[in-house]
Structure 1
Amino acid sequence: MATMENKMMRSSVACACLALVVGWMPLASAADGPAATAPPRPESTTVTVVQPSDVPAPRLLPACAPGKCPFPGQKVTVIATRSAISVALLEVKDEYEAATGAQLEIVRLPGVEHYPTIISDMTNRTGKFDASIAGGWWLGDMVAGGHLLSYDTFYDDPRFPKWNIDDVLPGPRNLLSYGGKKYMVAYDHDGQVMYYRRDLLNAPQHQAAFQQKYGYALAVPQTWAQFRDAVEYFNGQDLNGDGAPDHGIVLALQPGSQGMFNYMTLSASFVVGPTNSKLYWFDPQTMEPLIKSPGHLRALELFVELVKFGPREMLTWNHGRGWDHFLAGRAAFALTWGDLGALAQQPGSQVKGKTGAAPVPGTHEYYDIAQRKWVKTEAVNRVGNTTGASWAGVISRYSKAPEATYFLLALLAAKEKSAVYAVRGWDGVDPGRRFHFLPPEGTGSLEPYLRAGWDEADVRDYLGAFQRSFSDKQQFPYLRIPGAYSYWLALDLHLVGAASGQLNPAAALEAAAVDFEEITIRLGRERQREAYRTSLGF
């Protein structure tokens, strides 16, 4: 295992950078073109329990008159991951071409090929691709290399479709800019929340049994200690009435996939707190890894314990397989993205009307890394998160048609389209803007969700959970520096070692810290330090 890890860690950042694909994967043989604009059908490696419903996005722009098109004869080429996250691109192609006079070419590649292809194009300054629907963690490599064009000069220009960056809630809005300049055009807004079976928590027999066993009332967990008890209690019980024992929790822990995201979400409140808003990954002065702090260790110890209350097979599951387990009614809790709440409303779901959601739990004590001491809090210490990719459009500095490119990305960001993308769920686009959420904090309404078939109690919980998480004053510090995925992959592989019992938690974090230091040395300590400080707003 050590040999494999070392080999993977010394490989290029590009090699595995897109093992994470948040969204459904359409059939590998599906054609890219007009015929592919129907809802993608999931394949066996992702969600199979539910099927997508038909909720079309509106057409906003009329065709331009001959001689009056804004970009006649220009060509825009966009690269995106061949998954549900790029379905909206296919939908908007005809509208865009008719409204602008430009030609749109969409190149959809498997996840593991997307990042290597676009970063190679940028590094070589080829300019084959004008834009990418990129992951948020790519910005460190792209901006540090001088490969992106800021859209600051286009944003308020009336020639382009209008969208409002201030509609994006504070957490995900922070990912759209870097070093004070706007680079990512809003599209998908990722973050993780706690999903739970509302019917189970409200059942009198479970409430009585839980009270007797743990000495306090069964309710939506507010702290990780309460979460741990609830997960243990439901593990091994029949949760869907089929006579077979089910599980307290489901996590997707396939090596090289997204286990580190689950850990980031869980560990945040053990490290980040009122006296420490940013120190989690590195010391911003020295780039010394902080990943083995006592707060990180306590979080990993809990993480390893929680794994015992889920199916053993989830150590090899990707996100789709994990979502299937919850959608089939076989788990009481899950920590994951907005996709699961939306998929729970689709035909075939066994948990529609039963799926509650809330911000992830917190702690009453966190480890302040700067002060090197544990700090107790009277209120629950919660930390919002933008864990995930938060897919968004970026413009290559080498684009030969930058204005036509921004026009496309702004059209995808338009309120009327974004509202539909977030409602239907199967397109991989998660909510994050004020018009996605309900008053008084938001400006949206229940109507589009109910029209799309959502259960009212489910959608109220769902929107409330994401609104509170994305608006929390405390936000998990997203890593956006060169080599971000190399650091994450190192962490993930050692987390899997701890979760499987091959490493104890302390040894796993020590090994991760060693790998972090090796990556920093390889990429250049001063370069990494400068990028890290810029990414944190120092």
Structure 2
Amino acid sequence: MKRSFSIALGLLIVLNLVLSGCSTKAPVATEAAPAATEAAPAATEAAPALNKDVTITWATLAGFYTDWAKKLADEFTAETGIKVNIVEMDLPTMYEKEVLDIVGGTGAYDIITWNVSWKAEWANNEYIYPLDDFIARDSADVDFNDIPSALEAVSGQWKGKTYGLPYYTFTPGIFYRCDLFENADEKAAFKAKYGYDLDIPQTYDQMADIAEFFSRKAGDTLAGKTISNDFYGIGVMAGRYTNIFDEVNTIAWTIGGDVINDDGTPGVNSDAYVKALKLYVEKLVPHAPTGSLSGSYDFVISQLNTGLIAMTGPMYLDQWANAVKAEDNIPGAEVCAAPLPGIGKTWAGAFTLGIAKSSKNVDASWQFLKWITGKKAQLAFAQGGGTTTRKSILSDINFAKEHRKTAGHFPVVSYILDNASQCWYTNYNYVVEAAKIYEEAPAWLSAAASGEMTPEEAMNGFAAKINEFCNGKCQILNEGVTKPAADNAACTSWSFDRSLQIRK
């Protein structure tokens, strides 16, 4: 984005202040956000008359998300007269740029986009507006009950207030080659070796078995055909990116591990968490393609749609439109989406929108925020290949069938989110230092995956950094949050309705 020299200089000064006593991984400003120039309306007030001769600025993720947003922003402008300037950012730099603007009070961004792990810090430090009065005033437009509760809880709510609305979910599951899993020869060979039926893995030990089973060398047979290249059982995101933290967490949560223990001490060096990391390092990574130690999600999806792997590990289901390209590239291939082991004990992840406290166009910003996250815009997003955050669209089987190439995963995502609302809880979501922890995690997890450190060494080092970030025990600000019931059968036994899979 083009900026004047004076603004750039101001931001550099703020950057120096913010970073002076903080980690360079994910700086946390120590000063409060400036008071905004507009107050949020009381719930009983009518919507004020809008100044339509205004331009609001939305800071958001570059790429497909922005391509879609530009088209819809033009529609919004045509309807309301309010212009929308979209500033594209890469995810690794988005956090820093948005925080600098809010703390500096420049008001460069009105609407900001955040990842799940940033919410606690931003809401707790009052960097963003609470939206409850807006939502109450415009309840019919928002239709809050149409947003999956698991998504809204993790991405938009803090201490009983709502600070953002999700607009794009990357909730994970797995993609797998159902043509291979259902091949009669492969099923017979698998059962003879492991003693149970080849199917969607219900535990991570089963995932490890399947990864081992499908690993083949050039010259071996796969589904009755001799292969000319090596074939791998699984694709993993083991590079030094935050994706590896998402993968290991989904394993740890199913066996009782967590990033932060109930007493606020680090949980990453607990027996359960280390066990999860060992399974990942020792049983999944060895059966992934060469280069996985530097790969991210796009690397894994490329492996799937070029015929290198039988399944992914924990993978963001919003990648369905890319994953299903395997069916065009590989004769006879069919890709299916399914829940992970643990089903609901997984990230209910979403990119979320809120209004920066430094915004000088609060009401106009709210008009766009509720519009872009509303049903009309979300339906257009879904039709174009985006993974919506609206329950009514995600659960629409007919829509998924009609748009299989872009929305074939929707019913599976809906199922996972329904289970997550009952089963998923992590203390990590309720500590203000979550953003710092999230950015720090890849250094230690990737060191374990590559063999640079043992899992125990890596997690002890990670735990020490968490203690440093929290200045001792982390404070878990989860008052009023209901944890999943320990005896809830939906959270302890794996089940899945196969009719939710939209097949070829």
Shorter-chain TM-score: what band?
0.7 to 0.9
C-alpha distance 239-326 of structure 1, shift in aligned 2 (>3 A): farther
Q: CA deviation at 1:345?
A: 3.7
For residues 36-95 of structure 1, what are the alpha-carbon distances to aligned partners after superposition, in whole Å with 9 as ceiling and x for unaligned?
Answer: xxxxxxxxxxxxxxxxxxxxxxxxxxxxxxxx9833212211111222222232112222
In the alignment, which residue of structure 1 is the partner of 2:124?
144
Report the Cα distance in structure 1 between the residues aligned to 2:451 and 2:481, rounded to whole angstroms. 34
Q: CA deviation at 1:537?
A: 6.6
Instruction: State how 1:146-165 maps to structure 2 within 5 Å.
Output: 146-158=126-138, 162-165=141-144
Report the Cα distance in structure 2 between the residues aligned to 1:167 and 1:353, rounded to whole angstroms. 35
SS at match of 1:133: strand
SS at match of 2:211: helix
In the alignment, which residue of structure 2 is the partner of 1:467?
414
For residues 130-161 of structure 1, what are the alpha-carbon distances to aligned partners after superposition, in whole Å with 9 as ceiling and x for unaligned?
Answer: 11122122112211221111111111434x98
| Residues 236 and 245, structure 1, Cα contact 8 Å, conserved in 2 | yes
Equivalent of 2:387, from 430, 434, 446? Answer: 430
In the alignment, which residue of structure 1 is the partner of 2:232?
247
Question: What RMSD in Å do the two structures reach over aligned CA positions?
Answer: 2.9
In the alignment, which residue of structure 2 is the partner of 1:47?
none
| Residues 72 and 377, structure 2, Cα contact 8 Å, conserved in 1 | no
Counterpart amino acid of residue 489 in structure 1: E
Q: Which runs of 5+ in 2 are unaligned?
A: 1-21, 29-47, 484-504
Instruction: State how 1:49-448 maps to structure 2 within 5 Å.
Output: 70-158=50-138, 162-175=141-154, 176-236=156-216, 243-271=228-256, 280-285=258-263, 287-305=264-282, 306-334=284-312, 335-346=314-325, 349-350=328-329, 354-362=334-342, 382-386=343-347, 388=349, 390-425=350-385, 429-438=386-395, 444-446=396-398, 448=399
Report the Cα distance in structure 2 between the residues aligned to 1:292 and 1:235, rounded to whole angstroms. 31
| Residues 73 and 101, structure 1, Cα contact 8 Å, conserved in 2 | yes
SS at match of 1:326: helix
Q: CA deviation at 1:239?
A: 5.9
Report the Cα distance in structure 2 between the residues aligned to 1:91 and 1:353, rounded to whole angstroms. 34
Report the Cα distance in structure 2 between the residues aligned to 1:87 and 1:481, rounded to whole angstroms. 33
C-alpha distance 10-396 of structure 1, shift in aligned 2 (>3 A): closer
Counterpart amino acid of residue 423 in structure 2: Q
Q: Which runs of 5+ in 1 are unaligned?
A: 1-8, 16-67, 273-279, 363-381, 439-443
In the alignment, which residue of structure 1 is the partner of 2:460?
510
| Residues 248 and 277, structure 2, Cα contact 8 Å, conserved in 1 | yes
Report the Cα distance in structure 1 between the residues aligned to 2:96 and 2:222, rounded to whole angstroms. 43
Q: CA deviation at 1:250?
A: 0.4
Q: How many residues are paired up?
A: 432
SS at match of 1:503: coil
In the alignment, which residue of structure 1 is the partner of 2:438?
488
C-alpha distance 537-76 of structure 1, shift in aligned 2 (>3 A): farther
Report the Cα distance in structure 2 between the residues aligned to 1:410 and 1:482, rounded to whole angstroms. 26
SS at match of 2:329: coil
SS at match of 2:59: strand
| Residues 137 and 481, structure 1, Cα contact 8 Å, conserved in 2 | no
Q: CA deviation at 1:201?
A: 0.9
| Residues 239 and 329, structure 1, Cα contact 8 Å, conserved in 2 | no
TM-score for both structures, normalised by structure 1: 0.74
The question of 1:529 aligning with 2:479 is answered: no
Report the Cα distance in structure 2 between the residues aligned to 1:309 and 1:126, rounded to whole angstroms. 50
| Residues 250 and 311, structure 1, Cα contact 8 Å, conserved in 2 | yes
SS at match of 2:165: coil
| Residues 261 and 387, structure 1, Cα contact 8 Å, conserved in 2 | no
C-alpha distance 432-267 of structure 1, shift in aligned 2 (>3 A): farther
| Residues 80 and 106, structure 1, Cα contact 8 Å, conserved in 2 | yes
Structure with higher helix content:
2
C-alpha distance 337-505 of structure 1, shift in aligned 2 (>3 A): same
Report the Cα distance in structure 2 between the residues aligned to 1:384 and 1:96, rounded to whole angstroms. 37
Q: CA deviation at 1:480?
A: 5.0
C-alpha distance 464-348 of structure 1, shift in aligned 2 (>3 A): closer
In the alignment, which residue of structure 2 is the partner of 1:376?
none
Report the Cα distance in structure 2 between the residues aligned to 1:239 and 1:409, rounded to whole angstroms. 50
For residues 339-362 of structure 1, what are the alpha-carbon distances to aligned partners after superposition, in whole Å with 9 as ceiling and x for unaligned?
Answer: 222323459843696112221114
Report the Cα distance in structure 1 between the residues aligned to 2:182 and 2:137, rounded to whole angstroms. 52
C-alpha distance 463-112 of structure 1, shift in aligned 2 (>3 A): closer
SS at match of 1:186: strand
